[in-house]
């Protein structure tokens, strides 16, 4: 069931002191479609784009009421369209509503996705199909439908949220890894096909991000915080805002107008580092040394 929730006009206001404020209003008049916005990365992407002046079409399989309220509070003209990105009927209807309401679309962020932590030999065909449907077929359908509007206008930016699991293999994630490898392949193909017609297509490849999806994956016993922090050279998880800022950059032709077909890792150095954990830890600051009150400022 597709539901269009109209917005009411509001006065733009943004919180001070955030990185997005540097570009507040810079993208006024532009329109972005963002999927998977009810929580996590998608919600933060929507909020950052709202702060920068985009009007927004928010897509999710559940009602993204909290996200809608948040972006409207930032002054965005926003609508919510509820449905399944793997449904061709839903995607066609979404694109029609974008055209009818806004008459244009400048950015598409394919963020909606599902995770599956199951050994390959235990993964069912239904599980495999559902992950591929949401994580790969959905972005294709949206890129095709929304991309037609961009191609007709002679410009636009598509940003696919892939993963470092699309750059490397990760055990117990056969379906998820395959979907993200495929999404990067789709990104590069569309970049080559549409770049000369003004539509740029790029992917952001997050490492592990502290979101509701991470909490659910950890609850299944797949890994712990320590597993991830030890593996990341920067020694922490990503935050949703880390990913949202990369998306904002790639969506904006003023900042990334000649960036096309890239798969940008936002992973704290995970994919760059082939060293082992004990070596990686030795390169980090010693917390005992940094907390020693006898050390002068020049030694910190």
90 is catalytic: no
End-to-end CA distance of the chain: 58
Max distance between CA atoms of the chain, in angstroms, equals 67
Say which of 54, 90, 176, 223 is annotated catalytic.
176
- Report which of 84, 60, 77, 105 is spatially closest to residue 92, judged by C-alpha positions: 84
Residue 182 and residue 132 in contact, taking contact as beta carbons nearer than 8 Å:
yes
- Give the three-class secondary structure for 31: strand
272: Cβ contacts below 8 Å, ≥ 6 apart: 233, 265
Name residues whose C-beta falls within 8 Å of residue 173's C-beta, 6 or more positions apart in sequence.
115, 116, 117, 165
Both tokens of residue 116?
A: 């599956």
Q: Is the dihedral of CA 236, 241, 246, 249 positive or negative?
A: negative
Which of the residues are catalytic? Answer: 176
């Amino acid at each position: 069931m597709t539901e269009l929730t109209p917005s009411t006009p509001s006065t733009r206001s943004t919180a001070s002191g955030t990185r997005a404020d540097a570009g507040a209003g810079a993208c006024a008049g532009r329109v972005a479609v963002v999927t998977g916005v009810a929580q996590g990365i998608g919600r933060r992407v929507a909020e950052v784009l709202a702060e920068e002046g985009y009007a927004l079409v928010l897509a999710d399989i559940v009602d993204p009421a909290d996200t809608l309220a948040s972006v409207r509070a930032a002054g965005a003209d926003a609508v919510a369209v509820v449905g399944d990105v793997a449904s061709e009927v839903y995607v066609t209807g979404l694109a029609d509503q974008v055209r009818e309401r806004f008459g244009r679309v400048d950015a598409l962020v394919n963020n909606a996705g599902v995770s599956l932590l199951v050994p390959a030999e235990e993964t069912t065909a239904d599980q495999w199909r559902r992950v591929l449907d949401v994580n790969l077929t959905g972005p294709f359908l949206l890129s095709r439908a929304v991309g037609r509007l961009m191609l007709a206008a002679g410009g636009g930016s598509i940003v696919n949220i892939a993963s470092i699991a699309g750059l490397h293999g990760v055990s117990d994630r056969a379906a998820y890894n395959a979907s993200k490898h495929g999404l990067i392949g789709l990104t590069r193909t569309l970049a080559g096909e549409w770049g000369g017609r003004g539509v740029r297509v790029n992917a952001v490849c997050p490492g592990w991000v502290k979101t509701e999806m991470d909490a659910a994956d950890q609850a299944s016993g797949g890994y712990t915080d320590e597993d991830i922090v030890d593996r990341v050279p920067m020694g922490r998880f990503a935050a949703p805002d880390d990913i949202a800022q990369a998306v904002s950059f790639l969506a904006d032709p003023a900042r990334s107008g000649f960036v096309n077909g890239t798969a940008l890792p936002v992973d704290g150095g995970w994919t760059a580092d082939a060293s082992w954990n004990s070596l990686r830890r030795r390169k980090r600051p010693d917390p005992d040394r940094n907390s020693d009150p006898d050390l002068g400022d020049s030694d910190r």
